[in-house]
Amino acid sequence: MTTTAPRRTRELRAGVTARYATGEFVTSGFAALPGLVLVYYLTDSLAVPALLAGAVVTFAKIWDIIIDPIVGAYSDREFAARGSRRRLMLLGAVVLPVFFVVTFAVPTGTAPLLAAGWVFVAFLLAATGFSFFQVPYNVLPAELVSGYDARTRLLSARVVVLTAAILLYGGGGPALRQVGVELFGTDFGGYLFMAIGAAAIFVVAILVTSSVEKAARGEIATPPKPASRVFSEIAPPRDSIAVQARRGIAMLRSSRPFRTLLATFFTQALAAGGMLAGTQYVATWVLGDDEAVTLLFVALILPAIIAAPLWGVVARRIGKERSYLIATSIFFVAALSLTGLLLVPGYWIVVPIGLVGVAYAGIQALPLSMLPDVIAHDARTNGPGRGGSFSGMWTAGETTGLAFGTTILAVILAISGYLESTAATAVEAQPNSAIFGIVMSFSIVPATLMALSFIPLLRYPLRKKDIDLPTPAPAAPSV
């Protein structure tokens, strides 16, 4: 006779969890800082037309659709051969910081078309370096911990750092830019000073995070060889990169949990990307204060920092899926209320933005903790070896979603008659149509996208019972 017992979960010490969460200083920095200032940098310092500025950011990010699945396949192959994804992450520590700085190093007086080309090439290469880090980083939770609730705790810690990092970059980035302007007397010096500061953080964070595999294995078990039995559930086969890449595309058809989760996250990334890129425009042209962007970020991030661990508590009580629905609903209502800026522009918006922050913590922590569940479920259902491919597709969806959110903003600005500036020639006021476009891109558009994200989210099939399956106890010895 045999009995069943709950599947044992693997936990990590606080120090190892902190090392893993440190990676959000890279993830959030590369999302938040370009999302906040890159289009504004192009339109208001380099005189690039809004539509072209949006195209530059979008097409550089479309590259992620191509490169991320390939990086994911290569990451799986590295893991099979070496039992580690560290080398690829360390390559990102070289490529990302260098080309991030180059992105914001366009010399003063460069013709707008040439400036757009410069930013496009540099940002595309920076995005490639980011992929080298981010794709292995996203698959780590499936390898570091097991169990539905254990992954929620790990990803809740990551989102606490995520929100703190967004505050650092969202508030500190513009502040560093202003310091640079005062030191060097030009916008060129301001943006370059900001980029160098961010790049230094990227390097340190990647070096810390890349050590997490070794630290985790040291407390769980010492692997006798690459892809050891400790990680046997998700260890990938040593297939060619081309085969792995094709497998990554095929899994969109074969894995309904991944397909619905990615569709939800992509749609919500569109909303978040558009709001992030629109923050500076709201501060400058709706509130009439360039420096109000820092206040708006504080109003967004402080509630998010408080809410991030609370979403983990809620998820353990009612499930990640129901919690995710609640977070999405809060975001929808809060974004919709921002249409009031058309009638009464003012600092009352810190209240709905605070609610957006509470919801944002949820729509980050919950799907990120659901992704390793999807990977583990797929390994059990279809066999191991696709963790990096899942992560590559996920990273491509996230980054292109954020980029297309910026594109939507750029299109709205162009249609509504937004006037571009240069460092030498400043626009004193925008037409009412442009103000209307800015407010719509900050309220109605993200609210609509959040409403659309309910469609795939309601079809997500996995629950806790599908992840923490009981395992048979050893059979009693026969007598």
Pick the residue with more confidence: 253 or 476?
253
Band of pLDDT at residue 228, cut at 50, 70 and 90: very low
Pick the residue with more confidence: 474 or 285?
285
Pick the residue with more confidence: 316 or 117?
117
- pTM of this structure: 0.70
Q: Which two tokens stand for residue 15?
A: 């120090």
Is residue 476 over pLDDT 70? no
- The average confidence (pLDDT) of the chain is 81
pLDDT of the residue at 478: 45
Q: Using a CB cutoff of 8 Å and minimum separation of 24, what contacts does 306-311 make?
A: 306/358, 307/357, 307/358, 307/361, 307/362, 308/156, 308/159, 308/160, 308/162, 308/163, 308/361, 308/364, 308/365, 309/156, 309/157, 309/160, 311/156, 311/159, 311/361, 311/362, 311/365, 311/366
| Highest-scoring range by mean pLDDT, 32-46, 178-192, 226-240, 336-350 | 336-350
| Highest-scoring range by mean pLDDT, 118-122, 164-168, 406-410 | 118-122
- Percent of the chain whose predicted confidence (pLDDT) is above 70: 82
Is residue 471 over pLDDT 50? no
pLDDT in tens, 428-457: 778 999 999 999 999 999 999 999 999 999
pLDDT of the residue at 215: 63
pLDDT of the residue at 326: 97
Is residue 190 over pLDDT 60? yes
Regarding the domain delimited by 19-214+251-464, which CATH topology (the fold level of the hierarchy) does it fall under? Growth Hormone; Chain: A; (1.20.1250)
Looking at 322-407, which runs of residues are DSSP E strands? none
List the single range of 62-71, 93-102, 382-391 with lowest mean pLDDT: 382-391
Element (H, E) at 379: helix 350-382
Residue 4 bridge partners (DSSP): 472
The CA distance from 384 to 143, in Å, is 12
CA 237 from centre of chain: 28
Ramachandran region of residue 108, left (φ > 0), alpha (ψ -120 to 50) or beta? beta
pLDDT of the residue at 220: 43
State the average pLDDT over residues 131-156.
Answer: 77
The CA distance from 15 to 94, in Å, is 25
Pick the residue with more confidence: 275 or 427?
275
From 281, 290, 273, select the one nearest 35 (Cα to Cα): 273
